[in-house]
Amino acid sequence: MHIQDLIIKDKEAIDIQDVFLSESNRESINQLIKENLYVEELSRYGLPVSNKILLFGSSGCGKTTSAKGIAKALGKPLIILNLSNVINARIGETSQHLKQVFDRAGRDKAVLFLDEFDQIGKARGEDENDVGEMRRLVNTLIQLIDYFPEDCVLIAASNHVDIIDSALIRRFQLRLSYEMPIREALDDYYDKLLVRFPADLHPEERIYGISYAEAKDFALKEVKKKLIAELEGKG
């Protein structure tokens, strides 16, 4: 299998201001974007630039959309690699696959997004089956992160940060937690999502205690049901 087959090609562009974030996460991401827009100027003063960020927490709460928003804000190509696909592709070749992806990110001056980071970032030596190859794989990843070019951005995402090797976690200058949205945040999200549809197509009730992704699926499903019913009634 060629490494190109493992890269997810997603050209959807998202403005970072359209990503629903907590105030603290928005502030941290905006600072990261600004630092990476002024890499050369900061470097002249010997100031380090934060270009490695770990996003962790609940699924469907904006980690992937954050990566897309950061890439667009920086005007950089986005390379998405789901690490569960790399592991399943033949574990003996995983280190080489990772090196190829990191090399490509460096050549393209890209934003590299590693999804399901915990698939590789497991604590070394805790699993009886996780010996030898996996330990070498984690060490390879540590080296790749340490030498990641300053003019690129590395974003890793995980729903299970607790099982990631602490040596890997320390490599990220920013570590942001993505929690399930509160009721007010979901109302804002519903309002923005539904504003382009006529009021009579809006869901009669809203569901809470779910992720943004689940809220989007629910709301659009209800809109489609109402629209189809309206069309069939006219027919």
pLDDT (tens digit per residue) in 138-163: 888 999 999 999 999 999 999 999 98
pLDDT (tens digit per residue) in 70-127: 999 999 999 999 887 777 555 567 788 889 999 999 999 999 999 999 888 665 555 5
Q: Round to whole Å and give the CA distance between 104 and 106.
A: 5
User: Edge to edge, what strands does the sheet with 111-115 contain?
Assistant: 7-8, 78-82, 111-115, 153-158, 52-57, 174-178
Q: Round to whole Å and give the CA distance between 161 and 166.
A: 10
pLDDT (tens digit per residue) in 49-64: 999 999 999 888 999 9
Give yes or no for a contact between 120 and 158, defined as CB atoms under 8 angstroms apart: no
If one counts every other C-beta atom within 10 angstroms of the C-beta of residue 154, the result is: 21
- Residue 10, pLDDT score: 62
- Residue the block writes with tokens 């905006």: 30
Give one word for 10, left, alpha or beta, with left for phi > 0 and alpha for psi -120 to 50.
beta
The whole-model pTM stands at 0.85
Checking if the pLDDT of 2 tops 70, the result is no
Mode of pairing for the β-strands spanning 174-178 and 78-82: unpaired
Checking if the pLDDT of 135 tops 70, the result is yes
Checking if the pLDDT of 66 tops 90, the result is yes
Cα separation values, 88 from 2, 57, 71, 91, Å: 13, 23, 27, 7
Q: Round to whole Å and give the CA distance between 40 and 165.
A: 32
Taking Cα atoms as reference points, which of 134, 145, 150 lies closest to residue 102? 145
